[in-house]
């Protein structure tokens, strides 16, 4: 063998974020001058260096190089033993390469980061929070969760209450905060509390032992530093804002409503009762007067008695009054209504008609109702049902008169009412024209294949007076 190499310390211990060194002695046992390239290989190579990385040796001479190990303070470099190997490659005789081996022991460090989201919530009796914890150390830990509050007004529960975390692993723990009792009246109350995520024990006993502890940064109270004993980090604060069931403004509104109700019973209600009583009394008097008039009109010998001849009358003694036997005279004649025009005759009755229109997408279809001959339809009510939730346009016309045009997607049910009926003459039509853009989805949950609209018109159907 022409090359030999030996580590001064086969096992090196280093703390994350710190450095450790050892030496490697390379010897040229050949008979020619040889140049050597040195390189650290294996898992510790990313954070290991060799100085110098190239040496030249005369035959029978040796040189010592320095190996430096600086693992980062990160969960990516786990605590424990990491194999070390240094490849010594001769330039002239590459087949005579040697690889001395050793071990680098990375010490464990502990770092927990906890967060509470959101920091503040409100509710009547309780609220839910989310506690996030991450193991940023390089060794597994068992984490227990606890909450505390200055008084006994809150109960805090974690699900789950304990969790094991590998290096770099994060977990979300559900926190339920519940107040001891409701607040019925008054102002909202703020209940502060604290959440702790603490390491319960050293999780990896074979990972090595820490050589010391580092102080927790002042601006990072949620970070746990290196300790062998169970770690209790600084708690994370939170708040629960408990709202009253009946807020102050609601009490004011209820008081105002009660005052209005009392005013109604004290002032308005007696006046309404008096007006109603007066109206009933007047209606009863009018009904009695009409009854007396009808009774007088049917009395024998009265003015309307058909037995009494025209112009005849009886005196007080039963004789015929002078001049009472005069001939028959003609009163203020019988008249005829206006010309040949037509009007609404008697005998009107309530009537309704339904127009049902179904049409395919992209098409227009009309549905009609035709007023029968000799009739006139006085429309007072119109109801439109878009029960499928179709999309498109609906146009309603009474004869030649367009009443309304509606976008179907803006309503489900629509109704119109008129105090003065709209008169539709005989043989005229009520028309519902539907242009279908997209069929809707009825209560069955399946989209319809056609648009479907239902229009109902109601009013009084009367005979024409000719």
Mean pLDDT score, 65-78: 94
Question: If pLDDT is split at 50, 70 and 90, which confidence band does 212 have?
Answer: very low
Residue 343: the pLDDT is 44
Question: If pLDDT is split at 50, 70 and 90, which confidence band does 213 have?
Answer: very low
**442 or 323: which carries more pLDDT confidence?**
442
CATH classification number, 112-210+221-242, choose in 3.40.50.720, 3.90.580.10, 3.40.50.620, 2.60.40.10:
2.60.40.10
Residue 140: the pLDDT is 93
CATH of domain 343-441+450-465: 2.60.120.380
Which tokens hold the place of 26?
């390379």
Phi, psi (deg, nearest 5) at residue 154: -120, 150
**What would the pLDDT profile of 29-63 be if each residue is shown by its tens digit?**
888 999 999 999 989 999 999 999 999 999 999 99
Mean pLDDT score, 371-395: 91
Residue 184: the pLDDT is 87
Residue 266: the pLDDT is 82
**61 or 411: which carries more pLDDT confidence?**
61
Residue 99: the pLDDT is 93
Q: What percent of the chain has pLDDT over 70?
A: 76
Mean pLDDT score, 404-423: 90
Residue 238: the pLDDT is 92
Mean pLDDT score, 333-362: 67
Residue 391: the pLDDT is 93
Block residue for tokens 């995520």: 197
Which tokens hold the place of 431?
């028309």
Model pTM score: 0.46
| Fold of the domain built from segment(s) 3-106 | Immunoglobulin-like (2.60.40)
Query: Measured in whole angstroms, how far is the alpha carbon of residue 181 from the centre of its chain?
Result: 28
**197 or 225: which carries more pLDDT confidence?**
197
Question: If pLDDT is split at 50, 70 and 90, which confidence band does 377 have?
Answer: confident
Question: If pLDDT is split at 50, 70 and 90, which confidence band does 327 have?
Answer: very low
**247 or 370: which carries more pLDDT confidence?**
370
Q: Which of 88-97, 313-322, 354-363 has the lowest mean pLDDT?
A: 313-322
**What would the pLDDT profile of 251-300 be if each residue is shown by its tens digit?**
788 888 888 888 888 876 666 555 656 665 676 677 667 766 655 544 44
Residue 334: the pLDDT is 35
Domain with CATH 2.60.40.10 in the chain: 3-106, 112-210+221-242
Q: How far apart are CA 220 and CA 239, in angstroms?
A: 20
**What would the pLDDT profile of 108-126 be if each residue is shown by its tens digit?**
999 888 889 899 999 988 9
Residue 439: the pLDDT is 93
197 has a pLDDT exceeding 70: yes
Question: If pLDDT is split at 50, 70 and 90, which confidence band does 231 have?
Answer: low
**16 or 301: which carries more pLDDT confidence?**
16
Residue 302: the pLDDT is 43
Mean pLDDT score, 141-151: 87
């Amino acid at each position: 063998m022409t090359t030999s190499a030996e580590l001064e310390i086969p096992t090196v211990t280093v703390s994350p974020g710190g450095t450790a060194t050892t030496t490697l002695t390379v010897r040229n046992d050949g008979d020619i001058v040889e140049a050597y390239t040195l390189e650290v290989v294996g898992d510790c190579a990313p954070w290991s260096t060799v100085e110098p990385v190239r040496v030249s040796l005369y035959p029978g001479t040796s040189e010592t190089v320095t190996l430096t190990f600086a693992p980062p303070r990160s969960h990516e470099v786990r605590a424990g033993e990491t194999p070390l190997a240094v490849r010594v490659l001769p330039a002239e005789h590459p087949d005579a390469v040697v690889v001395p081996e050793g071990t680098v022991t990375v010490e464990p460090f502990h770092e927990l980061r906890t967060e509470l989201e959101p920091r503040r919530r409100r509710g009547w009796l309780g609220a839910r929070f989310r506690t996030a914890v991450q193991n940023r150390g390089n060794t597994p830990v068992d984490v227990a969760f606890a909450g505390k509050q200055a008084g006994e007004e809150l109960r805090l529960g974690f699900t789950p209450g304990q969790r094991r975390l590998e290096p770099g692993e994060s977990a979300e723990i559900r926190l339920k905060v519940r107040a001891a009792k409701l607040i019925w009246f008054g102002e909202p109350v703020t209940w502060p509390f604290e959440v702790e995520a603490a390491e319960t024990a050293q999780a990896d006993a074979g990972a090595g032992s820490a050589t010391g502890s580092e102080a927790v940064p002042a601006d990072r109270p949620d970070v746990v530093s290196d300790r062998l004993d169970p770690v209790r980090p600084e708690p994370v604060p939170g708040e629960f804002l408990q709202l009253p069931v009946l807020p102050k403004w609601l009490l004011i509104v209820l008081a105002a409503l009660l005052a209005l109700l009392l005013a109604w019973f004290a002032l308005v209600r007696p006046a309404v009762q008096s007006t109603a009583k007066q109206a009933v009394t007047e209606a009863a008097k009018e009904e009695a007067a009409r009854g007396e008039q009808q009774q007088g009109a049917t009395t024998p010998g009265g003015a309307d008695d058909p037995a009494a001849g025209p112009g005849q009358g009886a005196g007080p003694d039963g004789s015929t009054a002078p001049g009472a036997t005069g001939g028959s005279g003609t009163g203020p004649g019988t008249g005829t209504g206006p010309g040949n025009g037509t009007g609404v005759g008697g005998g009107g009755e309530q009537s309704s008609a339904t127009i049902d229109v179904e049409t395919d997408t992209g098409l227009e279809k009309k549905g009609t109702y035709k007023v029968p001959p000799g009739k006139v339809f006085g429309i007072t009510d119109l109801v439109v049902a878009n029960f499928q939730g179709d999309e498109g346009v609906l146009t309603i016309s009474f004869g030649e008169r367009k009443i309304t045009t509606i976008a179907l997607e803006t309503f489900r049910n629509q109704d119109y009412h008129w105090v003065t009926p709209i008169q539709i003459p005989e043989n005229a039509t009520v028309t519902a024209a539907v242009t279908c853009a997209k069929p809707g989805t009825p209560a069955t949950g399946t989209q319809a294949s056609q648009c479907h609209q239902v229009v109902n018109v109601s009013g009084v159907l009367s005979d024409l007076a000719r």
